[in-house]
Structure 1
Amino acid sequence: MSTIRLDFVSQDHLVFSDDVNEVIAPGSEGTLGILPRHAPLMTVLGPGEVIVRREGQTELYFAVSGGWMEVRPDHVTILARTAERAEEIDLTRAEAAKARAEQLLATGAPREERVGLEMALRRSQVRLKVASHRRRGWRPSGPGVAEEFSEEG
C-alpha cells in the first residue's frame, strides 16, 4: 500500500513525523480524508480529531484546537495551535472544563463571552472524544513518534 509523509507539529513540539497511509482531519469545510497522491490544498483546521492510519499498526488519535494543513501529493504538513495524543488527555480536567463551560453558558453569559465559552465547550468535547480511543497501558513508540513520547522518554 502506498504512503504519504506526515509532519505534524504544534506550537511547542513535534507531534508526529512518519510515512502513513491516511490522515483524517477537521477541515474548515468538514472532515477531510487524505490519501497518497491527494490533490494539493491548503485549509484551516477547526477544533477536532486528527486520525493517523498506518498499515498493520494501531490508529493514532489526536485532539487539535485548530491550525492549518497543507497537502501535496506526497506530503502532509499539519501546524496545530495545540495537539494532544489520546493518552495525554487528562480526563478529569477535560470533564471539568466541559462542565464549567456548560454551566456558564446555561447561566446566560454576556454575548461577548459566549463565543469563547462555546469554543471552550467544543475543545473539551473534542478532548473527551479523542480520549475515549485510548487503551490502557498502550503508548505508541517507534518510527514517527516524537522521542518525548516513546517508551524510553
Structure 2
Amino acid sequence: MAMTIHVDIVSAEGEIYSGLAEMVYAPAVMGEVGIAPRHTPLVTRLKPGEVRVMSADEMQHFYVSGGILEVQPHVVTVLADTAIRAHDLDEAAVQEAKKRAEEAMQDKSAEFEYAKAQSELAEAVAQLRAIERIRKSTSV
C-alpha cells in the first residue's frame, strides 16, 4: 500500500474536496509544486490554475482562482478564493469571459480597469487549461 497524505480543498463557498492522495500538484506563484506524503512544511500563495489530486485509482482536477497552500507532513490544505471541480467548468462561459477580458484590455481607458481585465484574462486562460487537461486525461 502506498503512502498517502490527507488533502482538503476549501473555498468561501465551502469544502470542495476532502480525502487521501498519493500526490498533489498545485500552481504556486513560484511555479507548479508537487507534494508527496511527508513533504516538508510549506505555506505559499497560489495563482489561478489547476490543482491535481492523485489517489490510488484516479486523478482529480480542480480549478482555483488563487489562494493559499499549506503543507504539513500529513495534511495539505488549499484555501482558495474560488474552487471548482474541473469537470464542472462551463467552457462556453469561460471562452466568453476570455473574449470580454481581451476586449477590455484593448480599451486601456483606465489603469485599474486594465489590471482587472488582465486578472480576468489570466483566470479564464487557467480555466481553459484545466478543461483541456481533464479532456486529455479522460480520452487516454
For residue 133 of structure 1, give the secondary structure of its aligned residue in structure 2: helix
Task: Note if 1:29 corresponds to 2:10.
Answer: no
For residues 91 and 29 of structure 2, what CA distance do their matches in structure 1 show?
A: 26
Structure 2 counterpart of 1:104? 104
Report the identity percentage: 37
**Corresponding residue number in structure 2 for 1:145:** none
1:128 CA displacement = 1.1
The runs of at least 4 consecutive aligned structure 1 residues that moved more than 4 Å come to: none
What are structure 2's unaligned runs of at least 5 residues? none
Structure 1 gaps, min length 5: 139-153
The answer to whether the 8 Å contact 1:86/1:132 transfers is no
Residue 115 of structure 2 is aligned to residue 119 of structure 1: no
Asked if the contact 1:62–1:83 (Cα under 8 Å) also holds between the matched residues in 2, the reply is yes
Work out whether residues 61 and 130 of structure 1, in 8 Å CA contact, stay in contact via their aligned partners in 2: yes
Q: 1:11: which partner in 2?
A: 12
Correspondence for 1:74: 74
Q: Structure 2: which amino acid aligns with 1:8?
A: I
Counterpart of 2:95 in structure 1 is: 95
Structure (1/2) with the larger strand percentage = 2
What are the equivalent positions in structure 2 for 1:140-151 lying under 5 Å apart?
A: none
- TM-score using structure 1 length: 0.83
Number of residues of Structure 1 aligned to a counterpart in Structure 2: 135
Q: Which has the higher helix share?
A: 2
The alignment yields a C-alpha RMSD, in angstroms, of: 1.4
